[in-house]
């Protein structure tokens, strides 16, 4: 069950105290509020209702009547709109209008581990739910006028800083005092994954932010149940619970990340999106979150130089083409959405981009709803704003025509207060006149141009169109050099006035209009571009147009590396079906293998080698925004599984090298790092779909130079530990804390239901939860390690605290204590030949894998490197070269052995009936430098094929050219962007920061 | 013909024996990959006094065993000229994370005068692990700044830098400014932006070269920087311009012409395939980036770095492979395998051998001594029991530098042996 927020207090006595001032008045009281009647208007009441010719009557701040046939009350001020449009004014839910910008503290070379904020607040400066926008709000006329120009009447404003940001207030865009412009002081609660201006180390990664937010929610829950301490931040979290929760995301992958938090804590979030929802629309729709989207359509790129245009990646080209379709795509997928004017390069682009969205298939009804009723509903203010109805606030704007086509906004009224946007020219002076002065008689004068900007041509002068300024009925006409200047007034078909000649003598004149000027008005036609560009999986180069399906295949006559007792078999057939290996044998009879009639593909693999896919025990690809949460010595609470990036190009590259599964590890910046994610390289799928089903949980530990920050420069010498001696203490401390924690829960859980109600439950701690899992053999350790002494130490800690180190990774001195590892029960996953990059790898030897393997330690070879991850077969071959390991054993080091180390060997790591159909076909012995991948299957789905790859290159090139040509023709949008390379982030163990 | 050759051989042998009372050493039966793009399946190769004495096909000549001091029967094995790793910090760095071990990056932007030669550590632990994979020669190259300094070509064995040197101060390394630059830093790369200072930086380089040119013609006062650049104008030194963008390489070529630099080599050359016509027209040879690298752009073909060598070969460009990049010193032992990867992706095997032997020797200006198995050249070669470009079979059994056998033991093998028999 999710909580549905309700805002009861919003309904209380909204304007019941209207007119009663709490301020002393200097002078005499002015209580009279006239009635305004807007007649002959085309009134858009709401997205679903309109009146072709109606009247709107308002008094004070409110609408008092609106209909097609209304009697105008006595004394009303009448505005004859003469067919102009009236719209309910827009609402923007993402604004920082009237609020100060958060200030970043002074930079300090030394890292800041603790909060610098004094008071009873959260320990982390990124968490400040206690901040209230309403206490900081000061109306700002200049910013307000920009919003008013774009048709907005109210905005939801919050200080856009930090993770738990505090509350937002709903304000009117008006010059009145804040007492009346703040219409709802506590309207919403705001969150994000960003740490904002905080200089505190934690969080230094996206996964750190996620854990920080989760732990804060847990702490707030615990806080409510205890009485021993005061924490204003937790109190605020609890107080804000009933408000609409608006979560600002960074990229489209964050939708599923927020969804997991929503699910865990039963919160209905509203998402402030990034405008790229189209690229993962199914995931966005599945969350059922309402979204607030910007109209931040990318400007086109300057593609005039073909060489620099090559820098623009295909996904950026596709984004340019598809982004304007985003609102239409959301509507089509029935996602509830609002539109915000934030996120634009220039505020003036708002209406332009809104109209572009309409041209790309967004209906006017949906557009209006996204700007009025939907935001009003989301903040439960639909009884006051969002549509035009008697009793609601008089928030509306008047436009010359349809605002979604080509209408200009004349006036924007907020709570009955008028703001002129474009002066409507009521008087039309244009026409053909006869001029009479004391100098001339019956000369022709024509006044043409537009109604607002007329141009006069006096044929007595030199027949040049003269700039004519019209201000009410006052007219001035000038020659450029100022030799002839006119001041006149228009009155009922005639213009009378004076002009001054070049020697300073005034002449009176009279213009009599003989005929009217008729304008040939261009009819506006709305052309809708209804062909939505195709979105690929992922929406970039090498992406699938249609995700592949599991195939039924018999591979014929291959050399099969089984990794089982049978060893390497010549001339064998292997059959796969529905993602599993179903038969292995010579000359398989397809009628026996596939008794039912199914579509079967036969692949002649004569001369080819067939193996299971490569499993990379140590990888940092496909991770978003940071691989290390090294801001604390222990960060067991963070999870790589929260930040998988399924669009990383290295997934496809590694498939082309035969890799099918990877353990995505936290980095090695601290002794106890974060939880790993076990993924299959399912290119084109979502982050959650990449995870291996029912895989055991793992966690990264680390030892040595990275952990003690040896190579982080002179200022990183504060965080404990700074020596190997300290590292040991971190482990003991952590596990003693975990044991005490476990005990306190056991004690609590042993209580009866009645007793539990009275007792305060222990505070749930995500970090200690993970450590308890280790103690319970529910989570397993992969430990980054180099030196004999430290490896020995951790095994001692494990033995004495009651856990086994599952895998030592890198383990470059493993060969020095292979026997001890075997006794302890640890496996090793090592580099084939890396060394000399740090002091602690002086004794790293390329014979390590062989020595470990020979000692009976379960041994794997891993990458830890995006480039090496696509040729791990070559790395395995180095065990043959350096240590004379047998080829079969060497091959297992990148397949079966890592699968065993990762506890997934029931599904992967060998060619065996019942295992996953993760198949690689090679041109040659896979350990040979000359071996190339022909095909890679994951779960029986063809993920890489050397022939398909060629077609994709062709397709991608043509797609590029198609969009580039379209871009060259593009006249819309502002300044062209300079082409830019898309830079990939490549992570290693010791990549420290990222946000 | 055969007889004549044989007689000639005997004659030479007799003279040598008579003159020095020393007989050559013979290697019989190996598949000799000559480095020049050809091979002899069943070869007879001899050396004497540090030079290659004979290169012959054992299946068509008769060998008189008594004419040799030692005969190694190496049938089924492979003999290669020393592999050459150009453009490397090998020998002037030892541990990446230990600043004290770095001697490749001098302070200051323009350092044409600094010389890697004198910092070269003949007892580098790393070098010993590199030569045991067949890489016996390195162009030891400084890094950093606009002009990093001078490289020297070194043997990976020697008592001191004087006797390890094969060619001292062979060239000056100029890092051509990039017309675009990468914002952000390594852990958090930003977008790539146009380098607004590109022309300014080039003007600065040109200013220096103008001055050096004037100095070469007129000055009598000693100016170390100017002095070091003299060789660029008279052809004694090669100008190695490190550049990767097509645009930058073209600018570098015009620059070379403008200053009448006699020998110029482009190092890096990521975009070389885009400008093959210009490279050919100007007779520019290339030292390529590491084959084992990621494609240059997100959407680039996945095998783009692997196929570059084969395509350049087809285009008729002279190139050699390097191993520049992260962990380049210790990684230099994988240079042969990067050539192997190029073979897998279309490069002819013997041409791949050339790309780490004769091509490199020609580009570095040392081909009169090494780079191929040829009579009269230094006896700097090695024998591997299997194909040396494949890690599965690379197993260097014997290696010689100028006829002197190289100790193939190293720190790592010692540890292996120590713990293997524990």
pLDDT tens per residue, range B240-265: 999 999 999 999 999 999 999 999 99
CB contact under 8 A, A835 and B412: yes
pLDDT, tens digit, for every residue of A430-465? 888 888 887 778 888 888 887 777 888 877 666 677
Q: Does B417 contact A at CB distance below 8 Å?
A: no
**Per-chain mean pLDDT for chain B:** 93
Of the three residues A386, A418, A446, the one that is the final residue of a domain is: A386
- All residues of chain B having their beta carbon less than 8 Å from the beta carbon of residue A315 are 298-299
B contacts of A540 (beta carbons < 8 Å): 298-299
What are the tens digits of pLDDT across the range A683-695?
999 999 999 999 9
Q: Do A929 and B189 touch (CB under 8 A)?
A: no
H-only helix segments in A533-574: none
**Is the predicted pLDDT of residue A9 greater than 50, yes or no?**
no
Enclosing H/E stretch for A881: helix A872-883
Domain end point (choices A386, A416, A450): A386
User: Is B394 near chain A, with CB under 8 Å?
Assistant: yes
In A623-652, the residues whose Cβ lies within 8 Å of chain B are 649-650, 652
Omega before A968 within 30 of 0, i.e. cis: no
Residue of A nearest to B327 (CA): A837
Q: What is the pLDDT of residues A51-75, one digit of tens each?
A: 999 999 999 999 999 999 899 999 9
Give residue A473's domain range: 431-516
For residue B286, is pLDDT > 90?
Answer: yes
Task: Quote the pLDDT of residue B2.
Answer: 45
Q: Is pLDDT of A264 > 60?
A: yes
Size of interface A-B (CB pairs under 8 A): 159
Query: Please, which residues have CB within 8 angstroms of residue A969's CB and are 6 or more apart in sequence?
Result: none
Q: Is the ipTM of this complex over 0.90?
A: yes
Assess contact for A234 and A226: CB atoms under 8 A: no
pLDDT band at A843 (very low <50, low <70, confident <90, very high): very high
Question: C-alpha angle with apex A306: A303 to A310, nearest 5 degrees?
Answer: 85
Across the range B51-60, mean pLDDT stands at 96
Q: With CB atoms and an 8 Å threshold, state whether B327 touches A310.
A: no
The SS3 call for residue A706 is coil
CB contact under 8 A, B96 and A949: no
Q: Are B167 and B113 in contact (CB under 8 A)?
A: no
Same domain membership, residue A370 and residue A276: yes
Note the pLDDT tens digit of each residue in A716-737. 899 999 999 999 999 999 999 9
Question: Do residues B338 and B323 touch, judged by C-beta distance below 8 A?
Answer: yes
What is the C-alpha separation between A357 and A359, in angstroms, rounded?
5
CA proximity to A290, closest of A253, A325, A258, A251: A258
DSSP B280: H
Q: Which of A312, A313, A317, A836 to mutate to test the interface with B (most CBs of B within 10 A)?
A: A836
- The whole-number pLDDT of residue A970 equals 81
Sheet of B39-40, strand order:
B39-40, B31-33, B78-81, B381-384, B396-401, B404-405
- Alpha-carbon span A198 to A164, nearest angstrom: 12
Contacts 24+ apart (CB under 8 A), A602-606: A602/A553, A602/A554, A602/A556, A603/A553, A603/A554, A603/A555, A603/A556, A603/A921, A603/A935, A604/A556, A604/A557, A605/A555, A605/A556, A605/A557, A605/A558, A605/A921, A606/A556, A606/A557, A606/A558
| pLDDT tens sequence across B193-245 | 788 899 999 999 999 999 999 998 887 789 999 999 999 999 999 999 999 99
Contact: B392, A925; criterion CB under 8 Å: yes
pLDDT attached to residue A456: 82
Q: What is the pLDDT of residue A105?
A: 87
DSSP string, A280-345: GHHHHHHHT--EEEE--PPPPB--SSHHHHTTS-HHHHHHHHHGGGHHHHHHHTT--EEEESTT-S
- Chain A 835-894, residues with CB within 8 Å of chain B CB atoms: 835-839, 842-847, 851, 866-868, 870-871, 874, 877-878, 880-883, 887
The 10s digit of each residue's pLDDT in A521-533 is 677 888 998 899 9
- Cβ-defined contact of A932 to B420 (cutoff 8 Å): no
Q: Do B299 and A986 touch (CB under 8 A)?
A: no
d(C-alpha B170, C-alpha B138), whole Å: 12
For residue A609, how many C-alpha atoms fall within 13 Å in the half-sphere facing its CB?
Answer: 22
> Do the Cβ atoms of B329 and A836 come within 8 Å?
yes
Please check whether residues A497 and A598 belong to one and the same domain.
no
**What's the pLDDT tens digit per position in A235-257?**
999 999 999 999 999 999 999 99
CA distances from A142 to A146, A151, A295 (A): 7, 15, 22
Q: What is the CATH number of the domain that holds A843?
A: 3.20.20.140
Which residues lie below 8 Å from residue A176, measured CB to CB, with a gap of 6+?
A139, A415, A417
Mutate to test the interface with B, among A930, A935, A950, A955 (most CBs of B within 10 A): A930
To the nearest 10 degrees (0 to 180), the angle between helices B304-315 and B335-344 is 80
Domain B2-76, architecture per CATH = Roll (2.30)
Torsion A337-A342-A344-A349 (CA) sign: positive
Quickly list H helices, B169-245.
198-218, 224-234
Question: What is the chain A residue with the closest CA to B94?
Answer: A836
Residue among B95, B190, B394 whose CB faces A836 most closely = B95
Query: Do B345 and A833 lie within an 8 Å CB cutoff?
Result: no
CA of B338, closest CA in chain A: separation in Å?
A: 9
**From CA B27, how far away is CA B254, in angstroms rounded?**
48
Reduced to 3 states (helix: H, G, I; strand: E, B; else coil), residue A884 is coil
Residues A896 and A927 both lie in one domain:
no
Average pLDDT for A190-203 = 97
Cα A312 to Cα A277, A395, A683, distances in angstroms: 21, 44, 22
pLDDT tens column, B360-375: 999 999 999 999 999 9
- Partner residues linked to A558 by β-bridges: A572
Residue B393 sits at the chain A interface (C-beta within 8 Å): yes
Q: Write down the pLDDT at residue A24.
A: 84
Q: Cα separation of B47 and A303, whole Å? A: 61
Quick one: closest CA in B to A991, which residue?
B187
Predicted pLDDT of residue B142: 98
For A743, the token pair is 């005990």
For B184, name the nearest residue in chain A, comparing CA atoms only. A983
Contact A472, A427 (CB under 8 A): yes
Is some CB atom of chain B closer than 8 A to the CB atom of A318?
A: no
The pLDDT value given to residue A14: 40
Window 218-257 of B, Cβ < 8 Å to A: 246-247
Q: What is the pLDDT of residues A330-359, one digit of tens each?
A: 999 999 999 999 999 888 899 999 999 999
CATH 3.20.20.140 location in chain B: 83-370
Residues A513-527, mean pLDDT to the nearest whole number: 81
pTM of the full predicted structure?
Answer: 0.93
Contact B97 A881 (CB under 8 A): no
Q: Compute the nearest-CA separation of A206 from chain B (Å).
A: 13
- Evaluate whether A898 touches A884 at the Cβ level (below 8 Å): no
- Please state the length of chain B: 422
CB–CB contact B298 A991 (8 Å): no
Write the residue in A835, A851, A927 that is nearest to B419 by C-beta.
Answer: A851
Q: Which positions 299-338 of B are in contact with A (Cβ < 8 Å)?
A: 299, 301-303, 327, 329-330, 333-334, 337
- Indicate the pLDDT class of residue A20, thresholds 50, 70 and 90: low
Residues A320 and A310 in one domain: yes
| Closest CB to A837 among B97, B389, B420 | B97
pLDDT at position A848 is 98
At residue A444, the pLDDT reads: 85
Which residues contact residue A744 at a Cβ distance below 8 angstroms, ignoring those fewer than 6 apart? A762
Clarify whether residues A805 and A946 are in a common domain.
no
- Kindly state the average pLDDT of the residues A142-168: 97
Q: Which tokens hold the place of A663?
A: 């353990």
Instruction: Tell me whether residues B412 and A846 touch, CB distance under 8 A.
Output: yes
Identify the residue among A306, A788, A874 best suited for mutation to test binding to B, counting B beta carbons within 10 A and taking the highest.
A874
Q: Which of residues 755-784 of A touch B (CB under 8 A)?
A: none
Nearest to B294 among A866, A881, A981 (CB): A866
Q: Is A957 on the interface with B (CB under 8 A)?
A: no
Which pLDDT score is estimated for B217?
A: 86
Q: Are residues A743 and A787 in the same domain?
A: yes
**Alpha helices, H only, A557-681:** 590-593, 649-655
Chain B residue numbers with beta carbons less than 8 Å from the beta carbon of A877 are 390-392
Considering only CB atoms, B182 lies closest to which of A816, A925, A983, namely: A983
Q: Residue B235 phi/psi, 5° resolution?
A: 90, 5
Does residue A369 share a domain with residue A504? no
Band of residue A765 on the pLDDT scale cut at 50, 70, 90: very high
Nearest residue in chain B measured CA to CA from A711 = B97
Residue A31 maps to a domain:
no
Tell me, yes or no, whether A450 and A348 share the same domain. Answer: no
Q: How confident is the model at residue B190 (pLDDT cuts 50, 70, 90)?
A: low
A844 CB neighbours in chain B (<8 A) are 412
Compute the distance between CA of residue A190 and CA of residue A130 in angstroms, rounded to an integer.
11
pLDDT of residue A463: 65
Residues A512 and A436 in one domain: yes
Beta sheet of B25-28, edge-to-edge order: B51-57, B43-48, B25-28, B70-73
- Phi, psi dihedrals of residue B339, rounded to the nearest 5°: -65, -35
- Which neighbouring-strand residues pair with A307? none
B16: region left, alpha or beta (phi > 0 left; psi from -120 to 50 alpha): alpha
Instruction: Let me know whether A604 and A621 are in one domain.
Output: no
Decide: A779 and A676 in contact? Cβ < 8 Å. no
Cβ neighbors of A491 (< 8 A, separation 6 or more) are A473
Residues A463 and A375 in one domain: no
Phi first, then psi: give them for residue A952, nearest 5 degrees: -65, -40
Average pLDDT over residues A361-390: 97
Q: State the Cα torsion A463-A469-A474-A476 to the nearest 10°.
A: -50
Q: Do A991 and B187 touch (CB under 8 A)?
A: yes
The minimal CB distance from A929 to the residues B189, B194, B344 is found for: B344
CB contacts under 8 A, A 646-685 vs B, are: 649-650, 652-653, 656
What percent of chain A stands above pLDDT 90? 79
Cα separation of A497 and A495, whole Å? 7
Helices A206-224, A254-265: crossing angle, 10 deg rounding: 20
Confidence check: pLDDT of B5 > 70 = no
| CATH node for B83-370 | 3.20.20.140
Residues A742 and A880 in one domain: yes
Q: Which residues of B touch A309 (CB under 8 A)?
A: none
The nearest CA of chain A is from the CA of B193 a distance in Å of: 6
Instruction: Give the chain A residue nearest B385 (alpha carbons).
Output: A881
Tell me, yes or no, if B297 comes closer than 8 A to chain A by beta carbon: yes
Q: Do A838 and B96 touch (CB under 8 A)?
A: yes
Helices A232-240, A206-224: axis angle to 10 degrees equals 90
Answer yes or no: is A63 within a domain: no
- Domain CATH code at residue A962: 2.30.40.10
* Nearest C-alpha neighbor of B326 from the set A81, A976, A131, A868: A868
């Amino acid at each position: 069950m999710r909580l549905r927020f309700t805002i009861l207090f919003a309904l209380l006595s909204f304007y019941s105290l209207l007119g009663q001032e709490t301020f002393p008045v200097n002078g005499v009281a002015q209580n009279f509020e006239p009635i305004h009647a807007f007649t002959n208007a085309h009134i858009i009441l709401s997205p679903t209702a309109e009146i072709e010719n109606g009247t709107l009557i308002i008094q004070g701040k409110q609408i008092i009547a609106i209909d097609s046939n209304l009697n105008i009350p006595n004394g009303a001020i009448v505005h004859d709109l003469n067919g102009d449009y009236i719209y309910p004014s827009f609402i923007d839910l993402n604004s920082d209008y009237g609020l100060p910008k958060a200030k970043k503290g002074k930079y300090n070379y030394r890292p800041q581990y603790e909060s610098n904020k004094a008071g009873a607040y959260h320990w982390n400066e990124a968490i400040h739910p206690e901040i209230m926008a309403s206490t900081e709000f000061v109306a700002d006329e200049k910013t307000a006028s920009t919003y008013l120009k774009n048709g907005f009447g109210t905005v939801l404003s919050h200080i856009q800083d930090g993770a738990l940001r505090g509350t937002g207030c709903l304000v009117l865009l008006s010059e009145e005092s804040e007492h009346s412009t703040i219409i709802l002081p506590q309207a919403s609660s705001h969150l994000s994954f960003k740490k904002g201006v905080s200089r505190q180390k934690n969080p230094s990664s996206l996964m750190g932010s996620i854990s920080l937010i989760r732990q804060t929610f847990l702490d707030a829950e615990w806080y409510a149940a205890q009485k021993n301490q005061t924490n204003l931040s937790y109190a605020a979290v609890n107080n804000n619970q009933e408000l609409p929760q608006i979560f600002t995301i960074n990229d489209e992958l964050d939708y599923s990340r927020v969804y997991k938090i929503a699910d865990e804590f039963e919160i209905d979030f509203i998402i402030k999106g990034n405008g790229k929802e189209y690229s993962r629309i199914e995931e966005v729709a599945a969350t059922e979150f309402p979204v607030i989207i910007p109209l931040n359509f990318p400007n086109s790129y300057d593609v005039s130089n073909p060489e620099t245009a090559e820098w623009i990646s295909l996904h950026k080209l596709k984004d340019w083409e598809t982004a304007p379709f985003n609102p239409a795509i959301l509507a089509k997928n029935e996602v509830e959405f609002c539109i915000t004017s934030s996120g634009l390069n220039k505020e003036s682009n708002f209406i332009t981009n809104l109209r572009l969205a309409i041209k790309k298939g967004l209906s006017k009804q949906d557009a209006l709803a996204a700007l009025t009723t939907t935001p009003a509903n989301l903040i439960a203010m639909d009884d006051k704003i969002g549509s035009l109805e008697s009793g609601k606030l008089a928030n509306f704007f008047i436009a010359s025509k349809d605002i979604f086509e080509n209408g200009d906004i004349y006036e924007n009224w907020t709570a009955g207060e008028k703001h002129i946007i474009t002066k409507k020219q009521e008087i039309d002076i244009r026409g053909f006149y006869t001029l009479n002065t004391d100098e001339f008689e019956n000369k022709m004068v024509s006044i043409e141009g537009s109604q607002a900007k007329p141009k006069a041509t006096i044929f007595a002068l030199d027949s040049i169109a003269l700039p004519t300024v019209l201000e009410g009925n006052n007219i001035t006409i000038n020659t450029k050099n100022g030799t002839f200047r006119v001041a006149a007034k228009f009155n009922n078909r005639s213009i009378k006035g004076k002009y001054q000649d070049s020697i300073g003598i005034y002449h009176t004149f009279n213009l009599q209009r003989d005929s009217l000027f008729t304008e040939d008005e261009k009819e506006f036609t709305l052309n809708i571009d209804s062909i939505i560009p195709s979105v690929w999986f992922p929406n970039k180069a090498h992406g699938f147009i249609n995700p592949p399906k599991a195939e039924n295949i018999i591979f014929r006559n291959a050399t099969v590396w089984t990794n089982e007792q049978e060893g390497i078999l010549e001339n064998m057939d292997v059959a796969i079906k529905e993602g599993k290996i179903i038969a292995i044998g010579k000359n398989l009879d397809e009628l026996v293998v596939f008794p039912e009639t199914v579509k079967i593909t036969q692949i002649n693999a004569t001369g080819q080698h067939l193996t299971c896919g490569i499993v990379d025990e140590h990888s940092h690809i496909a991770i978003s925004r940071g691989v290390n949460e090294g801001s604390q010595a222990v960060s067991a609470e963070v999870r790589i599984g929260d930040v998988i990036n399924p669009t990383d190009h290295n997934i496809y590259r590694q498939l082309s090298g035969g890799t099918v599964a990877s353990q995505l590890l936290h980095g090695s910046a601290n002794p106890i790092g974060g939880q790993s994610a076990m993924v299959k390289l399912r290119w084109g799928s979502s982050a959650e779909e990449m995870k291996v089903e029912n895989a055991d949980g793992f966690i990264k530990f680390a030892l040595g130079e990275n952990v003690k920050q040896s190579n982080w420069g002179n200022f990183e010498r504060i965080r404990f530990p700074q020596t190997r001696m300290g590292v040991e203490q971190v482990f003991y401390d952590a596990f003693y804390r975990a044991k005490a924690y476990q005990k306190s829960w056991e004690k609590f859980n042993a209580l009866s239901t009645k007793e539990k109600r009275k007792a305060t439950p222990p505070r749930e701690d995500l970090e200690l939860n993970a450590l308890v899992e280790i103690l319970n053999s529910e989570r397993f350790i992969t430990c980054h390690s180099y030196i004999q002494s430290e490896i020995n130490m951790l095994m001692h800690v494990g033995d004495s605290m009651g856990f086994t180190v599952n895998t030592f990774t890198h383990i470059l001195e493993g060969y020095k204590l292979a026997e001890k590892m075997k006794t302890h029960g640890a496996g090793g996953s090592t580099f084939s030949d890396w060394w000399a990059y740090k002091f602690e790898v002086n004794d790293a030897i390329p014979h390590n894998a062989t020595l470990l393997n020979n000692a009976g330690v379960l041994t794997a070879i891993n990458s830890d490197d995006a480039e090496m991850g696509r040729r791990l077969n070559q790395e395995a071959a180095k065990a043959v070269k350096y240590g004379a390991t047998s080829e079969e054993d060497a091959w297992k080091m990148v397949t079966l052995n890592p699968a065993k180390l990762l506890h997934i060997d029931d599904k992967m790591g060998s060619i065996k009936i019942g295992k996953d159909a993760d198949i690689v076909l090679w041109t040659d012995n896979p350990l040979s430098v000359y071996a190339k991948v022909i095909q890679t299957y994951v779960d029986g789905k063809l993920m890489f094929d050397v022939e398909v790859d060629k077609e994709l290159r062709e397709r991608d090139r043509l797609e590029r050219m198609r969009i580039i040509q379209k871009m060259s023709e593009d006249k819309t949008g502002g300044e062209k962007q300079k082409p830019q390379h898309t830079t990939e982030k490549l992570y290693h163990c010791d990549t420290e920061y990222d946000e | 013909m055969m007889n004549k050759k044989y007689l000639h051989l005997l004659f030479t042998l007799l003279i040598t024996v008579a003159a020095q009372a020393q007989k050559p050493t013979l290697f019989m039966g190996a598949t000799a990959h000559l480095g020049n793009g050809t091979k002899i399946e069943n070869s007879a190769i001899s050396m004497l006094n540090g030079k290659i004495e004979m290169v012959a096909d054992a299946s068509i000549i008769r060998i008189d065993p008594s004419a040799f001091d030692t005969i190694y029967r190496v049938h089924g094995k492979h003999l290669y000229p020393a592999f050459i790793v150009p453009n490397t910090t090998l020998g002037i760095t030892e541990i990446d994370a230990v600043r004290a071990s770095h001697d490749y990056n001098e302070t200051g932007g323009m350092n044409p005068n600094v010389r890697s030669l004198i910092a070269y550590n003949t007892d580098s632990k790393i070098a010993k692990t590199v030569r045991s994979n067949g890489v016996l020669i390195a162009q030891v190259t400084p890094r950093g700044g606009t002009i990093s300094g001078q490289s020297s070509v070194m043997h990976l064995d020697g008592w001191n830098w004087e006797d390890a040197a094969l060619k001292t101060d062979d060239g000056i390394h100029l890092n051509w400014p990039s017309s675009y630059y990468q914002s952000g830093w390594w852990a958090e790369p930003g977008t790539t932006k146009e380098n607004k200072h590109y022309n300014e930086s080039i003007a600065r380089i040109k200013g220096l070269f103008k001055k050096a040119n004037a100095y070469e013609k007129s000055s009598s006062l000693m100016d170390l920087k100017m002095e070091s650049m003299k060789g660029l104008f008279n052809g004694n030194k090669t100008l190695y311009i490190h550049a990767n963008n097509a645009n930058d390489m073209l600018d570098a070529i015009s620059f070379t012409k403008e200053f009448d630099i006699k020998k110029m080599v482009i190092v890096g050359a990521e975009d070389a395939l885009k400008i093959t016509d210009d490279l050919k027209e100007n007779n520019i040879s290339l030292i390529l980036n590491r084959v084992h690298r990621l494609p240059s752009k997100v959407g680039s073909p996945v095998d783009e770095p692997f196929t570059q060598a084969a395509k350049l070969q087809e285009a008729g460009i002279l190139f050699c492979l390097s191993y520049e990049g992260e962990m380049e010193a210790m990684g230099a032992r994988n240079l042969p395998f990067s050539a192997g990867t190029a073979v897998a992706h279309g490069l002819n095997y013997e041409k791949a051998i050339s790309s780490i032997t004769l091509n490199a020797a020609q580009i570095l200006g040392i081909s009169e001594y090494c780079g191929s198995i040829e009579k009269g050249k230094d006896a700097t070669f090695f024998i591997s029991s299997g194909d040396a470009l494949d890690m599965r079979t690379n197993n260097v059994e014997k290696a010689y530098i100028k006829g002197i056998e190289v100790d193939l033991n190293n720190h790592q093998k010692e540890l292996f042996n120590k713990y293997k028999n524990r």
